[in-house]
Each structure stands twice: as C-alpha cells, then as structure tokens.
Amino acid sequence: MFYHTKRLQYEAKPEQPDAVYAHKLQELIGGAWGEMTVTMQYLFQGWNCRIEGKYKDMIMDIATEEIGHVEMLSTMVARLLEGAPSDQTAKAVQDPALAAVVGGMDFQQAIVGGGGALPSDSNGYPWNGRYIIASGNLLADFRANLTAEAQGRLQTARLYHMTDDPGVKDMLKFNLARDTMHQNQWLAAIEELKKDGVEDTVVPDDLLDEEHREHASSLWHLSDGESSDQGGWAGGTAPDGNHEFQYNANPEPLGGMASAPKPEDHLYATYS
C-alpha cells in the first residue's frame, strides 16, 4: 500500500515557460526509457520477487521513488506550458521564434491535456506495458534496470543541452544524479547476486552442459568488415571464465534447406 505527500522529491520550477521543451520532455515521462517505465518495471519486479529480504526491499525503495519522478516531470511540463500559444494561428505568426513554437508544440498537450503532461513520448506515442520486464530472474532484470538507467541518463543529458533555463537545468541536475546513483546501484546489485551465489554470469545459470557447447563461444563472421576479430570477444577467455572465444572466419550454414511442409488443403496455401 502506498502513501503520498504533496511535496515533490525535488523542485520542478522553470524560470520561464517553453512549450517546445515541454514537448521534448515528454520523452522522459512516457518514452520507452522514461520514468513511467522504471516506475512500472520496478513495481512489477518487486511484486514478482521470489526471494525475500534485501533485494526485494531495495527494489521497492527505488520503485516508490520513481513514481515521484513521474510527478516531478509532469509538474515541470505543466509549468513549461503556462501561456503556451496553442490558440495562435499559423498565418498570424510574425516572428521566427514564435513560428518555431507554433510548429514544434505538442498539440495534444493543449487539445487533450488542457495544458498538462501526457502519458506519451516526445512523438506522441503512448507508454505501454510491453516496455517493461519483470521476469523473476534478478540477474536478467537487474541488467534491464541498468540499461534503463543508462539510456535514461543519456536522454536526460541530451535534454540538458537543449535548454538554457536555470530552473529546468536545476531539476535535470537532480535527475542526472539519481540516474548516476541508480546505475551504480544496479551494478552493485549485480555483483551482490554473484557474491551471494544466487546468480552467476550467464542467465540463467543452467543448461550450460546441455546446450551445444561447441557453438557457445564462436563469433560468426557474417559481414565483410575487416576488424571484428580485433576485439576481446574474438579470442581469449570469455567473461564467464568457462569458455574460450573463437572466431569463425568463414562460416557455413549447419542446417538443411529452409522449407515448410505440404499445407493442409483447407488452408489454401499455394501448392501444385
């Protein structure tokens, strides 16, 4: 069960409205790597966690924090939209700066949201549940989380350079810092899983003997670039300590012809 305080985790006050930036900021709310994603991903992971204690408790701590990030960004968007020229017709525009705004606004923020944030990304595409993963396997999921915080900080950093508003930048400095923390946090948690002996390097930590081991270590050179054999992935011991990388320089297919069986008559697949 959850409780809410009306105060924001961190301040979200722009110095001035900026409707085009409000459009761009939608990416951090409803984009594939936005705050709705980490909110829902961490919540579902916490609820799906099968091992009680520190892992689950930590996941729920950060999940709960992320709801507040959606709140901060939505608040910022509404404030950036104050006085947005949504009722301005194009033909009346006489100023290039206004022209950029009239062309670059998110029309739905006005028509649908009444000047508020939307659960969508910067191209107006709605957030959806296929963005998240809660597989029950903590190593697989912590890697997903590390990715999310990395892509999230990358996008935040890009957006940091797209504004010069001190209020916006102040909030983004908080967001950047949290994303730094959270990258470190998931990296530490991945180490902890190994230290605790519950997961190892390869996900899942099983079937390593059943799988065709002769194919578990070779890079198939299927594109004619000249340099793919020059990386650490083409030779030496693999990170799992259990395989020696190999380079398959002239790969040939191992299987037979791709083909599909004779069709059932009632399906009318072409056959003769």
Site for a second copy contains 218 (CB under 8 A): yes
Distance CA 19, CA 16 (A): 10
Site map 26..65 versus Ca ion, x via CB under 5 A:
----------------------------------------
Q: How far is CA 241 from CA 202, 229, 237, 250, in A?
A: 10, 20, 6, 26
**Smaller CB separation from Ca ion, 93 or 150:** 150
**Binder of a second copy out of 38, 67, 166, 167 (CB under 8 A):** 67
Site for a second copy contains 22 (CB under 8 A): no
Cis link prior to 204 (omega < 30° from 0)?
Answer: yes
Least Cβ distance, residue 61 to Ca ion (angstroms): 13
Least Cβ distance, residue 181 to Ca ion (angstroms): 10
Q: How far is CA 106 from CA 89, 96, 97, 118, 162, in A?
A: 15, 18, 16, 10, 16
Which of 255, 236, 256, 239 has its CA nearest to residue 247? Answer: 236
Binding residues with Ca ion: total (CB under 5 A): 1
228 binds, among a second copy, Ca ion, none (CB under 5 to 8 A by kind): a second copy
Q: How far is CA 35 from CA 52, 119, 154, in A?
A: 25, 10, 13
Least Cβ distance, residue 38 to a second copy (angstroms): 13
Least Cβ distance, residue 91 to Ca ion (angstroms): 28
Site map 106..125 versus a second copy, x via CB under 8 A:
xxx-xxxxxxxxxxxxxxxx
- Each residue of 210-239: b (16+ CB within 10 Å) or e? eeeeeeebbbebeeeeeebeeeeebeeebe
24 binds, among Ca ion, a second copy, none (CB under 5 to 8 A by kind): a second copy
Name the residue number minimizing CB distance to Ca ion: 69
Site for Ca ion contains 69 (CB under 5 A): yes
**Binder of a second copy out of 38, 166, 167, 203 (CB under 8 A):** 203
φ/ψ (deg, to 5) at 124? 75, 10
Contact set for a second copy, span 162-191 (CB under 8 A): 162-164, 173-174, 176-178, 180-181, 183-185, 187-189, 191
**Smaller CB separation from Ca ion, 69 or 79:** 69
**Binder of a second copy out of 15, 38, 43, 167 (CB under 8 A):** 43
Distance CA 218, CA 216 (A): 6
Task: Determine the angle formed by the axes of helices 35-47 and 138-160, rounding to 10 degrees.
Answer: 160
CA torsion through residues 42, 44, 45, 47, sign = positive
Binding site for Ca ion (CB under 5 A): 69
